[in-house]
Structure 1
Amino acid sequence: MGMVAAEMSEEASDDYEEITEPQKSSEDGKNRSKTWKRSNKIVNTATLFVGDNEQLALKGSQIAIKVDGIRARVLIDCFFYNDNDQQLEGTFKMRLPQGASPYYFAFGESILLDGDKRKDSIPFIDQEALVFSEEKIREMRSNSWSVPKVARVVEKEKAAFAYGQTVRRRVDPALAEWAGADVYNCKVYPLMPNKLHRIVIGYDVNLTAIDDDWVYNFSIPKVDCPLVLDVEVAKIKEVSFKITPDIKMQSEKSTETFRMVNPKEEEIEIRYQDSKNIALQSPKIEGQPSYFASSITPVLPPSSKVEISDNAIIALDVSLSSNPDKFNVWLQLTEAILVNNPNTIKKFTVMLFNIETFWWKKELVENTPENVKAFLEYAHQIALEGASDINFALSTISNAEWTKNTSNTIFLMSDGADTWGESDAYKMAGHLTNNERVFAYNTGMSGTSLSTLNHLTRSSGGALFSVTGEDEIQKVSTAFATVPWRIDQISIPDTQDILIAGRPDYIYEGQRLLITGRGTISKGTKVHLEVSQNNSMKEIEMEINTSIDSELTSRVYGQIATGILEEFDYVTEKKSIAYAKHFKIPGKTCSLLMLDTEEDYNAYNIRATEDAYVVASTTVQETLLVVLKDIKELLGSSKNTFKQWIEHLANTDGMDFTIPASLEILVDKTPEANFSIIQKELECASIYKKEIPTQFSDSLLQPKLNYDVVSEEANRRLEKYGASDALKVISSLVEKNPGNTVLARDVGFTALDWGLNEQAYYLFKRVLTTRPYEPQTYQAIAKSLANIENYELSLLYYEIAITAKWDPRFGEFRRIVALEYLNLLGQIKDRANFALATYATSRYKTLRSEFKEEYADLMLVISWNTDNTDIDLHVVEPTGEECYYQNNTTKIGGYMTADVTQGYGPEMYILQDAKKGEYEVKVKYFASNRNRTSTRTKVYATIYKNWGKKNESARTKVITLEDNKEMHNILTVVID
């Protein structure tokens, strides 16, 4: 694997499986590059979890692939058998290839084929009957699929709310949510006992450009069940294609097809050879708009060497997602960049990051072979674990003493998947204040967030380079050192709304552009590109070599258009949603949701809208002309973002919220700085592989992390090193399961308990983004902010929590959170440096009048992290009397709030005048989620002594409930 592999120590090669060096094929007399060979093939592998570790058995799978030029469509049928005697809810998980866009999701019970007596027989479809259009998929399965339900694209918050409410009624919804780069979490319900269930998911994905070829690699999942794979490849005039492995094809008029039954191969490759400038054109249908898509490689005039800083900072991602494949690529790139540019890069240093940041050298060192070798030896000793906090990494670079007074070139060696901390790309780019240019690299591997990488490189005047195989490393390692050409205009006759994927401002030699738009193009169509460099302007003309009609074309446009609109968050949200729904693009703004009946959709105000009209009446280019003028002021301001967010809450399902005039004034009076939470630097002692148990290191390489193994290692490091090290360990769960709100709450509670409040804040904020109708999250955020003394922002979250009207299932939430808020107001209203002191004083008086409790010798509050779960708070008083929901008022004055039976809490026990003695605090695991065989429930308890008094004290306790244990002791409080 090049020089990096040769210099790896024996210890390092034992710990990490390497990416196999790409081989060359020369059957046609040409050497043809290949993409990276991944060591851990989890792409396209389907699992259906019905608990933390319990899965339903996959009984069979049928995969159909359609390849049209530069685009492929994949349709996967998965058959799971529920051999439990209970009805269950399942979480269907699949890691998709990079950039894949799901277009179809359906779920239903499978039925027996005629004459088949086996209860779990697999109804595979004949190869001749395979279809890929949404209209035909269900029809072709009608004889073996009992009343299947097909998902619709719905606004993300509305979809999550409708799903949760429907599950509580124990009827039939399913939900597929975007959970980060190329990760979809799909919830399905109900999985009927002793029945075979069919889940069908379809997605589109671009082929990979390798030299002059277009290549599609499909990783064949390793399964212990029957597997049928069908492939259809479009014939393209004047372009040949090759299938690896060599398979006999059945030739049709416009396609070639083949079938593989229980293939032993790990991968198939379809390669269109010498296929420059292929274009896709949507089929001509009367009354329907036309779309096109193509990839072009402009031939640019020669460029001179660029004048950039001769100081390089390598920002190296050492999170779990880099382990091991991407990390080896990052090291090869780093070595090539330093070795191949000695006259451009005079000095360098390396900052490594996951949820923490640490430097190889806290100085810039000379770019010499000795220093490069020393860094590589150091890098191979680093343990790859934890989540990725790109925002904090960039902040660390901008604030380092040895970088402040220098201009630096930043090489971001990361997949851009920001699973931790601040996720706003505009805020990330805001750290680039010293004229830093950011260069990043797209490996083509799953889990890459191109939107983040594109934004950071574009906004800094850098570039995102493609490096999909080892052969490209040497070429791209020097590309940054030439002057790029600015893209001024692109035009094509008889077309409009021409869009370039990633919206690049600059182009480098050899860089491909994926373009799409409205209109018609064909073989011979000329693409005109105007570029400029310094004061020189050039016109470049490219010709479309060949064009094919493809039903996949419109979603190429839809995916790129929706992605561009989603970049601008709330500014273009309405249009983003309209485009996403029209082109069926689930992602940042929309999810796939299926409900039981049309009446169910209507109940949640999910109705047909005029999305087609919105798309037809507007173009993305027209929208960009308007929003780009003021975008930095709008999205660059955390305060403006907060304002728009609370306005959005007024129209959110599941909560009744009207913004009071007082809250609007409070937001205006709150300083801008309070809306940006600056994280404290975590100082972890354990960063080397030799410090980590082998069993745990091995577990990190598994497709699914074991919660118990991770928790055990976190507890070990907590005891040995402290909270920062322990949090890094459990953040691996978040990295592996982005978008999982149960885990985010779980880890957030733990971070709060360990005093890492800034980390907790960002975890809860991610939950709030998709679940704004759950009031406990506002309380948790307000508490974490109060703990770091950001009282202004804490006050705003408390105000939302007590102003909104919540679902009755949340019990006496307002009373509990108001008492907590009242206590905070009493502590801060007289602080001279508190910007909102006048309001706090007034609010304290009005809120104080609502409650008789002015103090309490003992107050206990619990919340938990799982929905549809009944946790009961029990307090055994010194008299022996037990206070709980069936005995909520005791003889000595103890009071228990209403029982919350459907999840999250909170529940509170309060005793104003406590009798001396011991109070045993317990929680009863009354009922877990009945639709899961098991699930982790973590309880967060706050215990106040002398609440409301000058000598008030508080402590927190977090416990994980065991499924087989009904009553759990939290602690004993002594009142003396």
Structure 2
Amino acid sequence: MKKLSTLFSFLLFSNLFFAQIPILEIASKNGDYKMNNEVILQSLNYDIKITGNISTTVATMVFKNNSSRILEGRITFPLPENVSVSGYALDINGKLRNAVPVEKARAKEVFESIEKRSVDPGILEKVEGNNFRTRIYPVLANGERTVQITYNQELKKSGNNLEYFLPLDYKAPIPLFSLKTTVFENSTMPQLEERPDGSFDFKKNGNVWVAETKRSNYKTTENLRINLPQNNEENSVLMQKASDDQFYFLANVPVTASSISKKIPQTIGIIWDNSLSGLKRDHEKEFELLEEYFKVAKNINVKLALLSNEFEESKSFKITNGNWAELKTFLKTLTYDGGTDFGEIKNLNVEEYVLFSDGLSTFGDLNLTLNKPVYTIISSPKANFSQMKFISLKTGGELLNINQNLPAQEVKKLLFQNLKFLGIKPGSDVSEVYPQLPQTINNNVVLTGISNQGKTSITLLFGFGNKVSQEIVITINAENQSTKDWDISKFWAQKKISELELFGEKNKEDIEDLGKQFGIATNNTSLIVLENVQDYARYEIFPPAELRAEYDQIIKGNRDQRDARMTNLMEKAELMTEDLKKWWNTDFKSSKKYPKPLDRQNQAPSVNNSEVHTELSGQVQGVQIRGNNSAERTQDIQEVVTVRGISSASNKSRSDDEVSNNKSAEIENIAKGKITTIDVKSDQEYMKFFDKLNSAESIYSQYLVQRENYIQTPTFYFDVANLLLQKNNGKLGLKVLSSIADLDLENEELYKLLIYKLKEQNINDKQVWIAKKIMEWRPMDPHSYRDYALALEDEGKPQEALNNLYKILNRSYTQELANRDNGIEETIIMELNELVSRNGNKLDLSKINPKLITDLPVNIRVVLNWNKDNTDIDLWVTDPNGEKCMYSNKKTALGGRLSDDFTGGFGPEQFLLKKAIKGKYKIETNFYGENQVTLSGPTAILAEIYLNYATGKQERKLVIFQNQKKSKEGNGDGVLIGEFEF
């Protein structure tokens, strides 16, 4: 019997630094997350340093696992616009170890490879938008783990003051809490607008102000809000010495914000993102912005369009004397549902657009066709600032960040032409000055760059539109600096990266280089911590300072310890092709079966050890299978529409020699058979609410009522989408299904779940888009290329499909991932040759190894796929003679063949039978278990069932379900998913 230890995982979904202290939630068996007091925030320490208009915040968190289970931890948190994580540390053997920067995909590959050895890696990565995620493994039973995160930010102006804000909103008491704030070089005492407790106050020590508190069992009551009075006449310049007698500088230049009149448009288009993620936006702030706008605009026509997985021109509204009550009432009653597809946005024939969204396009790429200024509005801390800024920049609009700034202040960008910083005057002895793109002024501009000398002057240019109307000269002088050691270089790198990420694909290499050099988490660079120096050497990752001497010695003395990557999949594929050919050319003959005598003791049929039988309680039609919990589960057999039917004409382009060698002609391979698939019913508790509902509309209404209780449960959306699709309402079905994409950021398990259902529904363009996203996130997995290739095949792009399948055999893999996927080449060879057999001379095979090309038509092919790593699911196929092909009986007397058993990866598992005999073949899955419980919920399974595969007349049917329960070996309680009948 196969055994898997259970590893539970947890998530910390929080707005960490800018909405609340981290909230720990534990994954339930359904994959949703709820508060659980088994794991607590044991200790929280903040160390804040402020100088001039910049701050550095260091958060150190200790999590205690009070359970008896090993946990894998994950924290996901947003940061404000232009802010990134610049420091990450994890406790190793009781001491904090700093992370080092590594290319993002490489860091994920190394993390997961080491994790499979149950060692202690940690990783922090930037995911979609300005959101960050750290994963830690393991959090031992009854143990603790310490995580430290550092970020730098520029302080925003509030009136005449700079403001620092730290939210301290936490529901439960924190056993150990400490907070220290140090303000350098400030002659005036900082003002505490909000303080965590009465004892927290600033005391002066020379030119430094310090406030601190330490509390036990601390229950937060207020946040930390500090106002720092500023002299609006003085420039503040900080400098840091660098190599080659150069200096990084950061200047805060006060500028009087001004504006000139702008013609108010007669008609505007409001594009309102009402996807599922829209629920998380601050709609009150959005309404406040519109209130301020219509007060001034007064009489204006509004065309409203709604954006989710589709774009819907909704209604038109006439605003008179600033009265927008009808529009406001309509917006307040909107339903938020579906994924987000920026590729669906269309022109509305208006003078300007106002786009309300978080900028996270989870169901399609941006296709910018709007030809008028677009003002993008962000009211959520979890947002893609780069995407929204790109849209406004490209169209001549502006980004309004009302999450960080007051709506009454930001609305000026909609109503006036505002003074902008346009750049610096040529000729200054400085370089790499940012921002380089025009930027609206709100009482000051923050400039950073590299100076070639310690003292120089810079002329800043300001104006309206592209016309310069004002110049300000500032002087930077290293001699006047008393904070020479402040790390200004990270602020400079952060500002440069923010601009480069506006055109992320074009600047990918530059972003990666900056992230690595300055230790900043970017879209292309992650921060990683490894447990021992041998792993740094093995994967050739330059370690933190304290390990470098030992690392150099290992690298110099024993290069054999470096990562022994698997690069010989091509050789294995050649051997597998020969093995498949030998199997195909074997003449399997079925011996005649005679009645079996009953066992004398219990009068039951005796069983031959070479044969395994599955006993089912109930009939095949409307079969009832007894699950491993001894409860009756009903499964209805239904005919499913063929997704892909192939005509024999697809082989006509092949040469005469090829046709003469077509193995379909050598055997009577175009067998007359029938595929019957099973509708595996969901047994989730919420399904009782839908039992008696007959229409798609009533199902959808009930879904909206129940969603509040299951909002983070992917299975809920999956099951309801199934119900709607069964009612032939593809529009509502796809809307509910696409909501899964909005549940989490860069989650390949959720996206694989979507691929399976989109494949079933023949929505191939979205299947291709999602598969490509997974491939970008996980280039280390052969499954990523396979999923993408099969999606391209469904989309009718056989050459691209072939190229991506072939890539799998030409890439290198870490030893751990290669071991996980050992044997996948058998499935790849079948799929590669099926592409060739269907498309013949349409394909360019010049770059394909000819040793892999061979005809392998079969009567029966079944492939089992699943969406989670570290999972063990088995495919069983029982033939008319009662012999079960399974992992312990991989070759049957009839010639049935099962691929390698994948016990800890994504699969796939494949069954082949060249020539079927008359009778019924049962297809079952058996779920042994998974060593994780994640946001994606129970493992999703896709079974592809083929009749006459690679013959030119193949038929495919799909079975997709997500409610497998763990089975025991050999007890016959696998889940029946389909049958062949010949």
Q: Distance in 2 between matches of 1:479 and 1:207?
A: 21
Task: Summarize the Cα distance change of 1:880–1:766 in structure 2 as closer, same or farther, 3 Å threshold.
Answer: same
Q: In the alignment, does 2:739 pair up with 1:788?
A: no
Q: Distance in 2 between matches of 1:285 and 1:802?
A: 46
> Does the 8 A contact of 2:862 with 2:912 survive in 1?
yes
**Structure 2 match to 1:375:** 327
5 Å-filtered alignment, 1:340-359, equals: 340-342=296-298, 346-359=300-313
SS of alignment partner, residue 397 of structure 1: coil
**Structure 1 match to 2:24:** 47
5 Å-filtered alignment, 1:632-781, equals: 692-697=703-708, 699-700=710-711, 705-719=712-726, 722-781=729-788
**Structure 1 match to 2:414:** 480
Task: Summarize the Cα distance change of 1:248–1:511 in structure 2 as closer, same or farther, 3 Å threshold.
Answer: closer
> Does the 8 A contact of 1:212 with 1:273 survive in 2?
yes
> Does the 8 A contact of 2:180 with 2:212 survive in 1?
yes
Q: In the alignment, does 2:424 pair up with 1:490?
A: yes
Q: Which residue of 249, 272, 279 maps to 2:202?
A: 249
> Does the 8 A contact of 1:106 with 1:201 survive in 2?
yes
Q: Which residue of 445, 448, 451 maps to 1:513?
A: 445
5 Å-filtered alignment, 1:207-286, equals: 207-222=155-170, 223-237=172-186, 239-245=188-194, 247-253=200-206, 254-259=208-213, 261=215, 262-274=218-230, 276=232, 279=236, 281-282=238-239
Deviation at 1:159, TM superposition (A): 0.5
Superposed CA RMSD in Å reads 4.1
**Structure 1 match to 2:249:** 292
Deviation at 1:266, TM superposition (A): 4.3
Q: Distance in 2 between matches of 1:691 and 1:335?
A: 34
Task: Summarize the Cα distance change of 1:737–1:158 in structure 2 as closer, same or farther, 3 Å threshold.
Answer: same
Amino acid at match of 1:420: F
**Structure 2 match to 1:418:** 361
Q: Distance in 2 between matches of 1:572 and 1:238?
A: 42
Deviation at 1:824, TM superposition (A): 3.5
Task: Summarize the Cα distance change of 1:352–1:220 in structure 2 as closer, same or farther, 3 Å threshold.
Answer: same
> Does the 8 A contact of 2:924 with 2:977 survive in 1?
yes
**Structure 1 match to 2:437:** 504
Consecutive unaligned residues of structure 2, counting only runs of 5 or more, are: 1-14, 546-562, 571-694
Amino acid at match of 1:540: E
> In the TM superposition, what whole-angstrom CA distance separates every residue of 1:118-176 from its partner, at most 9, and x where no partner exists?
xxxxxxxxxxxxxxxxxxxxxxxxxxx62444321111011111111111222221222
> Does the 8 A contact of 2:164 with 2:226 survive in 1?
yes
Q: Distance in 1 between matches of 2:736 and 2:474?
A: 53
Q: In the alignment, does 2:794 pair up with 1:860?
A: no
Q: Distance in 2 between matches of 1:535 and 1:560?
A: 22
Q: Which residue of 353, 371, 374 maps to 1:438?
A: 374
User: 763-772 or 179-188: which moved more?
Assistant: 179-188
Deviation at 1:743, TM superposition (A): 2.4
**Structure 2 match to 1:912:** 914
Q: Which residue of 153, 177, 202 maps to 2:101?
A: 153
Q: In the alignment, does 2:390 pair up with 1:455?
A: yes
Q: Distance in 1 between matches of 2:481 and 2:414?
A: 33
SS of alignment partner, residue 161 of structure 1: helix
Amino acid at match of 1:418: S
**Structure 2 match to 1:921:** 923
Amino acid at match of 2:373: R
Deviation at 1:416, TM superposition (A): 1.9
Deviation at 1:218, TM superposition (A): 1.4
Q: In the alignment, does 2:11 pair up with 1:57?
A: no
> Does the 8 A contact of 1:822 with 1:848 survive in 2?
no
**Structure 2 match to 1:392:** 343
Task: Summarize the Cα distance change of 1:469–1:893 in structure 2 as closer, same or farther, 3 Å threshold.
Answer: closer
User: 325-334 or 890-899: which moved more?
Assistant: 325-334
Amino acid at match of 1:355: N
Q: Distance in 1 between matches of 2:773 and 2:243?
A: 44
Deviation at 1:500, TM superposition (A): 3.2
Q: Distance in 2 between matches of 1:685 and 1:297?
A: 59
SS of alignment partner, residue 24 of structure 2: strand
> In the TM superposition, what whole-angstrom CA distance separates every residue of 1:936-961 from its partner, at most 9, and x where no partner exists?
32222211112223442111122225
> Does the 8 A contact of 1:316 with 1:412 survive in 2?
yes
> In the TM superposition, what whole-angstrom CA distance separates every residue of 1:632-681 from its partner, at most 9, and x where no partner exists?
xxxxxxxxxxxxxxxxxxx99876899xxxxxxxxxxxxxxxxxxxxxxx
Q: Distance in 2 between matches of 1:829 and 1:714?
A: 38
Q: Distance in 2 between matches of 1:415 and 1:265?
A: 29
Q: In the alignment, does 2:980 pair up with 1:974?
A: yes
Task: Summarize the Cα distance change of 1:711–1:468 in structure 2 as closer, same or farther, 3 Å threshold.
Answer: closer
**Structure 1 match to 2:615:** none
Deviation at 1:580, TM superposition (A): 0.8
Task: Summarize the Cα distance change of 1:174–1:63 in structure 2 as closer, same or farther, 3 Å threshold.
Answer: same
Q: Which residue of 107, 120, 145 maps to 2:90?
A: 107
Q: In the alignment, does 2:854 pair up with 1:851?
A: yes
Q: Which residue of 811, 829, 832 maps to 1:818?
A: 829
Amino acid at match of 2:205: E
Amino acid at match of 1:201: I
Task: Summarize the Cα distance change of 1:149–1:238 in structure 2 as closer, same or farther, 3 Å threshold.
Answer: closer
SS of alignment partner, residue 881 of structure 2: coil
> Does the 8 A contact of 2:236 with 2:252 survive in 1?
yes
Q: In the alignment, does 2:530 pair up with 1:587?
A: no
Task: Summarize the Cα distance change of 1:39–1:579 in structure 2 as closer, same or farther, 3 Å threshold.
Answer: closer
Task: Summarize the Cα distance change of 1:548–1:98 in structure 2 as closer, same or farther, 3 Å threshold.
Answer: farther
**Structure 1 match to 2:533:** 598
> Does the 8 A contact of 2:58 with 2:149 survive in 1?
yes
Deviation at 1:883, TM superposition (A): 0.4
SS of alignment partner, residue 975 of structure 2: strand
Q: Distance in 2 between matches of 1:688 and 1:956?
A: 24
SS of alignment partner, residue 226 of structure 1: strand
Amino acid at match of 1:948: A
Q: Distance in 1 between matches of 2:138 and 2:410?
A: 50
Q: In the alignment, does 2:863 pair up with 1:839?
A: no
Task: Summarize the Cα distance change of 1:310–1:970 in structure 2 as closer, same or farther, 3 Å threshold.
Answer: farther
Q: Distance in 1 between matches of 2:569 and 2:459?
A: 51
Q: Distance in 2 between matches of 1:197 and 1:534?
A: 52
> Does the 8 A contact of 2:433 with 2:447 survive in 1?
yes
> Does the 8 A contact of 1:153 with 1:581 survive in 2?
yes
Deviation at 1:239, TM superposition (A): 4.7
Q: Distance in 2 between matches of 1:420 and 1:824?
A: 28
Q: Distance in 1 between matches of 2:259 and 2:914?
A: 81
SS of alignment partner, residue 921 of structure 2: strand
Residue identity over aligned pairs, in percent, reads: 19
> In the TM superposition, what whole-angstrom CA distance separates every residue of 1:759-792 from its partner, at most 9, and x where no partner exists?
3322222221121121112221222233233445
Task: Summarize the Cα distance change of 1:225–1:689 in structure 2 as closer, same or farther, 3 Å threshold.
Answer: farther
Aligned residues: 800
Amino acid at match of 2:326: A
**Structure 1 match to 2:663:** none
Deviation at 1:803, TM superposition (A): 4.8
Q: Distance in 2 between matches of 1:178 and 1:397?
A: 30
Deviation at 1:590, TM superposition (A): 0.6
> Does the 8 A contact of 1:863 with 1:939 survive in 2?
yes
Q: Distance in 1 between matches of 2:399 and 2:700?
A: 31
User: 713-722 or 308-317: which moved more?
Assistant: 713-722
> In the TM superposition, what whole-angstrom CA distance separates every residue of 1:821-864 from its partner, at most 9, and x where no partner exists?
4334443447xxxxxx2537x899x86973352x2221111222
Q: Which residue of 880, 883, 889 maps to 1:881?
A: 883
SS of alignment partner, residue 264 of structure 1: coil
Deviation at 1:304, TM superposition (A): 4.4
> Does the 8 A contact of 2:866 with 2:907 survive in 1?
yes
The structure with more radius of gyration: 2
Amino acid at match of 2:193: T
SS of alignment partner, residue 58 of structure 2: strand
Task: Summarize the Cα distance change of 1:654–1:388 in structure 2 as closer, same or farther, 3 Å threshold.
Answer: farther
Q: Distance in 2 between matches of 1:699 and 1:935?
A: 12
Q: Distance in 2 between matches of 1:969 and 1:336?
A: 60
